[in-house]
Every structure is written in structure tokens, then in C-alpha cells.
Structure 1
Amino acid sequence: MHNQLSNFLLIDRIRPSSISRTKKVDQFYSDRSRILYSSSFRRLQHKAQVFSLESNSSVRTRLTHSLEVSDLGRTLANKIATKLYNKHLLSIRAVPEVVAIVENACLIHDIGNPPFGHFGEAAIKDWANRYFEESLLPNLTNIDMTLFQKLYKDFLEFDGNPQGFRIISKLHVEADKYSLNLTYATLLCSLKYSRSTDEEQGSGILKKAGYFQTEKTFVDELYRAANMQLNHRYPLTYIMEAADDIAYCLSDISDGIEKRIITPELFISEFKAMWDKNFPNQSCPVPIPDYIKNFSLDISVPWSKIVMEEAASNYISNYQKFLDGSAQQLIPENSTGKILDIIKKVSRKTLYTSIEAESIELTGYAVITGILKHYQRLINLSYEDFQTISQDEICKNLDFEKRLFNRLGKRYVIAYKHSLKEYHPEKECPPDINFRTYELWLRIHLIIDHVSGMTDDFALQTYQMLEGINLLK
């Protein structure tokens, strides 16, 4: 049983690294550098955690949230890895490797989030539903409808998680088509959910799609390399998920206090009331102060320590389940998990329904929907017309569409062309019905890649420009 977890600490990359590294852990440090210096990671500084377009720099963005998650993940991973070492289940050399992999996954866990967070996700899914029924379906010709309806599930189940995996594995084409070319361990650890969009929805780790069908073949390869069973979870992903749960539960309340939407006194009052309502006659596993002088010092630090300590003990107690990826979650639902559950309930009641938060969400929904309505003109083009535009040839009567295409992120266009070659490598062959089907699917991904990659402020500016409200320079 010794060093079983070590078998999952894979340093393989889809394209072998050109740099020789003597220490295995250096491979994972290289991953971290690739993540930190990527433009997708930098863009998180202008994507909202809860409050979009926020001028108060003390309020968290997706970037600061991701850094906090990585800090919690590093601490929790170190606790767990050290306990495994003490039980002779992990070598001392593997301890920092485990920590580095988890830290990497924490840094990229939100990298695929679209502008305006969960309302941005909802806007994309709702658009995909309406667009297919109202605009796309009546005009579909020269494609395989059965195949297309299967592929289209990518958009009906759009989510930041599969989009994030798509970004790190396919969309950073500055060097080549292998994107950031991260180690298999980091890639697997980032997969929070363990199914594709064309697979049946389940509960727990199958509740959402973890990757699109565009990346399914690659994920299958990762699972084979790790000798993992499909639809099971990578053993270290549980640590990343737990760090995220702890971070966002506590930070959302902290931001609400910073913005004076709630007070520390209101939080304590609501927390106590909801605890008594949901868990009557049960003692709370964390100390609840009568007065909060500093939310971070009085609540966030002591509560997160208690939750992490129990999570670490749970990992060791149920090691085999976490090792084979069949467990559901790391933070025990029957103990400290109740703490996070009550905090989420308080946030839903006091924060997420505030006028400020809801107004921003409504704006974000309108912005994303509006941009997509304009860009669907590119999707409505015939295969021949779109290829003419994409190859920068003269386009008669397609002036508006050409200008829309010119605004697409260049790396997304390159990634689209790389993917297209996988389905139609021989240019001289006339496109058949299957190729046209795949092309349309990849073209929609191109549009979604562009829109979901925008920051909150750039999305707003783009919407205003397309609507003729403001000139975007």
C-alpha cells in the first residue's frame, strides 16, 4: 500500500517539455509559472467574485479569490500529505509534490468563469436554449441533426468548469496547439466534475459537466495514463474543492461587510438563528463570538482552521475512497459541513438578494445575452461564407459580419482552426455532412470562447459598442 498516491503524481505532458528538470516537484512548479503568467489568469482581476465592476479594491475579484483558495489548498494539502507520510502511505519527497499539484488546481479552478459569474453562465445557457429553438433549428441544412444535437449539449450545459479545462488544455495557442501544456497531474486535479456534457447527469461529482466533448478524447487519455476509472475523481481534487468551499463561504460574508450590505452583528444573529432552525439541540462545532471586532481574525481564521483539520482527518480515515475517486466530498456533511451550509444560507438571504448584487446580475445577464445576439450572425453564416471571412478574403455583402469576426480574440480563432484540422485534415477533400456538423459546433465554441473570455468591464464596453451606445476604442 506504500506510496499508492504517488502513482497519481504524473509529470507527463501531452508534448514533452524541452527543459530537463532533475526534481519531480519542479515539473509542478513549472505548471504554476505557466498558470500565473497566462493572460487568462490575469483577466481574473477584472472578473467578479460576487460584486461586478467593483471600485473598492478590498472587495474580492476572481483573482484574489483564487489566490486565497490556493493558500487554503496549500495548507490543507500539506496537512493531509504530512499525515499520510506519518502513516507511511507517502514518501517525504512526495509531500511537496502533492502540495504543488493542489495549489496549481486551486489557482485555475475559476479560470473559465465568464463575465458576471454565475449569471454570465446562466445567460450563455439560456441563450443557447433559445437560439437553438428559435433561430438555429429552422435554418439548419447540410448537417447531421442527430450528431449536432449531441454536440450542442456543450452549450446547454455551459459552465465555468469545463470552459476552464478547455482554456488550459486548448486555447492558449501562443506556442502551439497544446495550450499551457500542463502536467497530467495538474490537469486531472483541476477536473472538479467527472463527466462530459454528453453523459448522463448524476449527483455529487457527476452533478455538472467537468469537460466539453471537445476535450473528451484528451480526458480519456489522461484517465488511461493515471489508470483511473472514468467518472471517478482524481484523489487530490477533493482538496481543491474543499479549499474553494471554505474560501468563498467566508469571503462572501467578508465582502458583504466591507461593502456595508450587512454588519458583523447581523451575520452573527442570522447565523445563530439559522443554526437553531436547521440543527436544533445540536452544539455548533465552531466558537461563535458575541462580538466581532475583525471578521478575518475572529471568524475566518479560527473557523477555517477547524474545518480544515476535520477535512484532513476525514481524508485519512477514508483514504481508500478518496484514493479510488469514489468519495463525494472531503468536508464531512454531518459536522463542519453544516457550518458552511449555514453560511451559504446566510449569504443567500442577506447578500445575493441585495439590491446591489441583483442589479449587477441583471445587467450582466443583459450584457452577455446582447453580445451573443450580435455574434450569432457569424453562426448563421453558411460554411462557405464563414470560411471566406476567416481566411481574410473579400466578402461581398458581409461587411458587418467581417467586422464582428475581426473582433474575435486571435488565439481563439487559431484554436478553432487547429481543432478543425482534427476533423478535416485534407484540405482538398470537399466537406461532407459530418465535417460541416463538426465545423458548426466548433464555430459556436469559438464565439463562446471569445465572449466567456471577456472581463466584466470589457463585456460591458463591447455590449455598449455593439448597441451603438458608446464607441469602444
Structure 2
Amino acid sequence: MNWEQLLSLKRFGDTNKRLRKEQDETRLGFEVDYDRVIFSSAFRSLQDKTQVIPLSKTDFIHTRLTHSLEVSVVGRSLGRIVGKKILEKHPHLKEVHGYHYNDFGAIVAVASLAHDIGNPPFGHSGEKAIGEYFKTGNGQKYKTKLTAKEYQDIIDFEGNANGFKLLTESRTGVEGGLRLSYATLGTFMKYPKESLPKKPTKHIADKKFGFFQTEKDFFSEVAEELGLLQTRDGKDISFSRHPLTYLVEAADDICYTIIDFEDGINLGLISEDYALEYLIKLVKDKINTKKYNEMVFMQDRLSYLRALAINTLITDAVAIFLENEEAILDGSFDVSLLDKSNYIAQIKDIISLSVSKVYKSQEVIEKEIAGYKIISDILDVYTNALVKTAEGTASNYDSIVLQTLPEHYQNTDAPLYNLLLNTCCYVASLSDSGAVHIHNKIMGKQL
């Protein structure tokens, strides 16, 4: 892969090449991508979606929105620092083509901003709940009517694939969705493959999948424009990652490692003394002891250690990326950047404590259970109504139910796979409280 091609400014529907040196610096294409994401309704819904603690009433606990904004800030720093070094190493990118290090930062920032945009309500358990409905619940009756890949798409419903759909899906009068640059779309794609074969290798890019069957052709177009390397022959579409995807992943890993841990402390799930000890181990060589000891309040000490930890891991991730640039460009770098971190032992300790004290806390488990029931019930009502309407066997109740769906989800003149996938995507679009509200309505608990 080569950087000039990887930094493509092309957008859906373009017939002419967009050259970087001809860009308006006041409205740079990659920065326009950021604006389009942040003003989208899908991004706004993240303000009421779970990061770790579902339906938390505590003001300082992170939602998907605050998490995404923080990941974007970290991603921008990673991109700019790496971009500066890449341009020093490959000066023709600036001298001939006009690229700047801020371009790298802008691309990584917007892909980071959008990285959770397709995630369902109730955190990662929301993804599992959608899949389980079709794998072991009432939705398994559709298995024989779908192809293997179509069925895999919905039983392993993937927020990343839904995110790509949200960013790119055409609707009447809105061709190409948000029409983001192909460089941004490629960077957004953590897992550039179909749902099958499942985990064919141990390469990080094969861990999950990144697009549904409905977006297969367009993703192939994006991948070919960017010069991503094909990693599989035959009918199974699979490409190498865009190099900047590693920086998006690192930004996400840094934020959830440190900030989910911080949420656990603020909630009282992790004791202050225990927590500060773990963070100090990560940044012990960077601490200004005099400054730290002068801080009276726990929040100040925690904020100081958090900032040091994030900066330490940013510096570490940049060094790993630059050391492995050649392997990243040829597709052979097969782990995340933080898997190669000098601080991997400290990171694992922090994550292990977060898992035991936060992710598996009673509050989280209880609300995840409720989320499973809510999502299953909503899927049951809407899939039945859509499929029966398409078959001409709808009851009056089914007809009434369909009227509660947003208009672009009501179309039943489509193959079964599209009907089922669209229902999954509708459920995924709901906020936590929105899902609860709709569930109460359809279950007759609220007038």
C-alpha cells in the first residue's frame, strides 16, 4: 500500500479526482467529514447510549458520546504526530501532493469520532442480544430462508458493520449517506471483511467483520480506490486494514483502558487507594512527585494521573506504529499497537481490575439482563409485523405497529434479509431510554 492512494479525498459519486493541493484550506475535505459526522442524528443519539454503566443516572459516568469525543481527541493527537513523521520520511507527499500532518490527524479524528456510531443500546450486550434473538430465540426460524452469510450477519450483529452502513447508506434523495472521503471510510473500517469465514486467522483484522452483505459492493469500491490489499481469494471478500485504522484502535484502547477505570473509581466500585496504585505503576517515570503530593482532592490526583497515563500511551503507540510502518503497509502487522506496548503488563492489570469490579458489577449485569429482554421483545414485534406484511398475512395489530417505525424502515417491498437487517439496524439506532420507552409502549405498560 502507498500513502498517496491511502489518503484519497474521493467521495461517493465523484467522477473527477480530488487533489490535495487544490483543497480549500478553510474547508479541508477531511475536516468536512468531521462536521458531517458530528451533526448527524446517529451521532447525537450516542448521548443516551451506554459506554459501561447502562442507564446510569450519575452525571460523571461516560456515555458513548463523551467516550467518542475523547477517543477523537486522542486519535487526532496520534494522527498528527504520526503524520509529521510520515511526511519527513516521505517528503513527496507534501512537496508534490500537498499533504500536511494535520490531514492525518483529521482523518484519524473523524474515524475515531464515528467508531461507535453503529453500536446498539445497552453497550456490547446490545449487539449480543440482537444476535441471540436470531440464533437461539424466535428469530432462528428465518435461518433456512437466508444464505449463510446473510444469517451470519444477523446472528453476529456487529456495531462496526452497522456504523459503515449508517455512514454510507443511500436513501431517496440522499445518495451515499454522509458522503465521507474514502480515506476516512477506510480508516473507520477496523475489520475489512465479510461475516464469513469467521475468524479465519489470528490477524487482528479478522477478529470480527466490518460490513453487511448490503454494503459489500461499495466497500469493495472503497478498498480498491485506497489500494488496500486483498487477503483472500475467491468469493470471500477480505482486505488488509488501512494503516491509520491502527491509530483509531489505539485511541479507543487508550481511552477505555484509562477512562472506564476512572468511571469505576468515581462510582466507588474500585477503591481510590487501589486504583491510584495501578495508575502510578503506569506513569511512575513521569510523575512530578512534588506536584502530585500537593494535590488535596482525589479528583485532582486522578485527573493528573489520567492525563499522564494517556500521554504516556500516546507516545508509546506512535513509536510502535513508526517502528512497524513497513509491516503495517504490507498488511503483515497482525496485532493492535497496544499489544506491543512497553506497558502491556500495567494495561492488563488495569483492564483485569475493570473487568472484575466494573464490567461484571451487579449493576451492569442486572441492566444487561433487562436489555436482552427489551431488545428481544422489540425485535419480535417488528420482525413479525414486517415479514407478515411482506407475505400479505398481516393482522391489524401488525399494521398499527408498522406505523410506529420511522418511514424509511416501513418498506416491506424488499428481500427477507433486508427486512430483518433493517429491523436490527432500527433497534441498534435506539438510545437506551428510547428502547425502554418503545418496549413499554408495545408491551402495554405505558399509554
Residues 305 and 134 (structure 1), Cα distance of their counterparts in 2 relative to 1, 3 Å cut: closer
Q: What is the identity, as a one-letter code, of the residue corresponding to 1:11?
A: L
Specify the alignment match of 2:352 in structure 1: 345
User: CA offsets per residue over residues 159-179 of structure 1, 9 Å max, x none?
Assistant: 1111111111116x3742421
Shift of 1:127: 0.6
Specify the alignment match of 1:368 in structure 2: 375
Q: What is the identity, as a one-letter code, of the residue corresponding to 1:319?
A: E
Specify the alignment match of 2:233 in structure 1: none
Specify the alignment match of 2:236 in structure 1: none
Q: What is the identity, as a one-letter code, of the residue corresponding to 2:58?
A: N
1:22 aligns with 2:19: no
* Whole-Å separation in 2 of the counterparts to 1:300 and 1:367: 36
Q: What is the identity, as a one-letter code, of the residue corresponding to 1:232?
A: S
Aligned length: 421
Shift of 1:225: 0.9
Q: Work out whether residues 118 and 428 of structure 2, in 8 Å CA contact, stay in contact via their aligned partners in 1.
A: yes
Task: From 425, 432, 444, give the equivalent of 1:449.
Answer: 425
* Whole-Å separation in 2 of the counterparts to 1:334 and 1:467: 49
Task: From 10, 17, 22, give the equivalent of 1:12.
Answer: 10
* Whole-Å separation in 1 of the counterparts to 2:10 and 2:152: 30
Kindly report which structure 2 residues correspond to 1:194-209, keeping only aligned pairs within 5 A, or say none. Answer: 194-201=192-199, 202-203=201-202, 204-209=204-209
SS at 1:182's partner residue? coil
SS at 1:228's partner residue? coil
1:65 aligns with 2:67: yes
Residues 82 and 324 (structure 1), Cα distance of their counterparts in 2 relative to 1, 3 Å cut: same
Residues 322 and 131 (structure 1), Cα distance of their counterparts in 2 relative to 1, 3 Å cut: same
User: CA offsets per residue over residues 373-405 of structure 1, 9 Å max, x none?
Assistant: 22231254263428xxxxxxxxxx621111221
Give unmatched runs, 5+ long, in structure 2.
Answer: 231-238
Specify the alignment match of 1:161 in structure 2: 160
Kindly report which structure 2 residues correspond to 1:88-103, keeping only aligned pairs within 5 A, or say none. Answer: 88-89=90-91, 90-91=93-94, 93-103=99-109
SS at 1:252's partner residue? helix
Residues 14 and 88 (structure 1), Cα distance of their counterparts in 2 relative to 1, 3 Å cut: closer
Task: From 229, 240, 243, give the equivalent of 1:235.
Answer: 243
Quote the sequence identity (%): 29
SS at 2:28's partner residue? helix
Q: Work out whether residues 189 and 236 of structure 1, in 8 Å CA contact, stay in contact via their aligned partners in 2.
A: yes
Kindly report which structure 2 residues correspond to 1:212-291, keeping only aligned pairs within 5 A, or say none. Answer: 212-230=212-230, 231-268=239-276
Q: What is the identity, as a one-letter code, of the residue corresponding to 2:135?
A: N
User: CA offsets per residue over residues 81-113 of structure 1, 9 Å max, x none?
Assistant: 112233345527331111111111001000000
User: CA offsets per residue over residues 219-251 of structure 1, 9 Å max, x none?
Assistant: 111111112113210011000000000011111
Residues 169 and 258 (structure 1), Cα distance of their counterparts in 2 relative to 1, 3 Å cut: same
Q: What is the identity, as a one-letter code, of the residue corresponding to 2:402?
A: F
The normalised TM-score by structure 1 is 0.82
Shift of 1:411: 3.3
Q: What is the identity, as a one-letter code, of the residue corresponding to 1:14?
A: F
Q: Work out whether residues 402 and 410 of structure 2, in 8 Å CA contact, stay in contact via their aligned partners in 1.
A: no
* Whole-Å separation in 2 of the counterparts to 1:96 and 1:293: 33
User: CA offsets per residue over residues 137-181 of structure 1, 9 Å max, x none?
Assistant: 5xx6xxxx5x5333211101111111111111116x374242111
Shift of 1:17: 9.5
* Whole-Å separation in 2 of the counterparts to 1:363 and 1:384: 32
Q: Work out whether residues 52 and 260 of structure 2, in 8 Å CA contact, stay in contact via their aligned partners in 1.
A: yes
Give unmatched runs, 5+ long, in structure 1.
Answer: 276-281, 387-396, 421-438
C-alpha root-mean-square deviation of aligned residues, in Å? 2.9
Q: What is the identity, as a one-letter code, of the residue corresponding to 2:40?
A: S
* Whole-Å separation in 1 of the counterparts to 2:373 and 2:339: 39
Bigger mean CA deviation after superposition, 149-158 or 107-116: 149-158
Q: Work out whether residues 233 and 324 of structure 1, in 8 Å CA contact, stay in contact via their aligned partners in 2.
A: no
1:310 aligns with 2:316: yes
Shift of 1:266: 2.7
1:211 aligns with 2:211: yes
